[in-house]
Chains A and B, each alone.
Chain A
Amino acid sequence: MDLEDEAGQREAAEKVRGVLARLPQEQRKALEMAFFEGMTHTEIAGKTGEPLGTIKTRIRTGLLALRKAFA
């Protein structure tokens, strides 16, 4: 995909949003907290009350889903 031109970027942005929307909710939330809110995995685990390992796995799975969509 050509990200140089504006249309390409918009298309890509749409696609990313599509992928995010289809992610399981807990994966999406973990990704958003880490990326958009800048939280560390410890903070996320503290906030959601879930094990550290679970948070880690969700973040990685979410990122890989994005990669797969653009592969």
Chain B
Amino acid sequence: MNGHPQFADALALYALGALDDAQELAALQAHLGACGECRGELEALRADMALLALSAVGPQPPERVRQRLLSAIAAKPRTVQMVPQPYTSSHLRRRWFSIAPTAAMVALAVFSLLLWRELSDTRRDLRRAQAQIEQFQMEFLTKDRELAEAKAVSELVHAPDVKRMTLISAHTPPQPLMKMIYSPQKGSLILMATNAPPLPENKIYELWLLPADGGKPMAAGWFKTDSNGHAMMFHTMEVAGINARGFAVTIEPSGGSSTPTMPIVMEPAS
């Protein structure tokens, strides 16, 4: 120790804020006011104390220290007999040092919070990565299965003994069918309908001749079906000799129309 040995021990206590002998405190403060060397030593001791504070933070503060920090905070305020003194900077420092345990505790809490946040971030990243891996696995399995299926299909289609057939429903509902005979030269036609859906009372089926020259559809007679959907019509056009590119059937109001009302319900099989 440089400086004044008689003050050395008191100075260390003073730095820690643990010097509570009023007489000694007054003597030391008076000396500090006059002795630069001892003031320098005081600063050095405070730096040492800052090192001490460091031990309370870090990855694993010893449980013992943690417990003491907790009990220091919980403890009743110290009853220290202090001589009234002006509110000097050293007084302020003493007050600061007296909250050092609390400050260390706060540092510990902040550090814990940071660690906790880092941990939850890491966990979230991990969950995301796991979800991604699962997705890749699913995609891979799907692709794998699709590829295997495509290969099997290709092999079957090209098998030397392959047989092809078409199956239809054993319960296919009867399809509407209209057969026609038309002679342009005679200008007359016959239509036979089977399985035509029943129409409301005020509607009829009307046949249209589609002229081969691209003219407008010409009315070619109308008919109603019986309760079984059957009908037969014989019709003569107003003029003979019209070539037809086709015929179409629409549903019209009773009495027939002069132009077809869409949609076409029956047309020539292609």
Contact = CB atoms under 8 A, between A and B. Distances in A.
A63 B101 CA distance: 17
Overall SS of chain A's interface: helix
Contacts of B72: 36-38
B12 A59 contact: yes
Interface string A27-49: 00001101111111111100000
Given A9-B54, A13-B58, A16-B51, A38 B13 contact: no
A37 B101 contact: yes
A6 to B, nearest CB: 9
Contacts of B19: 40-41
Nearest to A17: B55
Interface in B1-27: 1, 8-13, 15-21
28 contacts: A9-B54, A13-B55, A13-B57, A16-B51, A17-B55, A17-B62, A20-B55, A32-B68, A34-B13, A35-B16, A35-B100, A36-B104, A37-B68, A37-B71, A37-B101, A38-B72, A38-B75, A38-B100, A38-B101, A40-B80, A41-B19, A42-B20, A44-B18, A56-B10, A63-B49, A64-B1, A64-B48, A66-B52
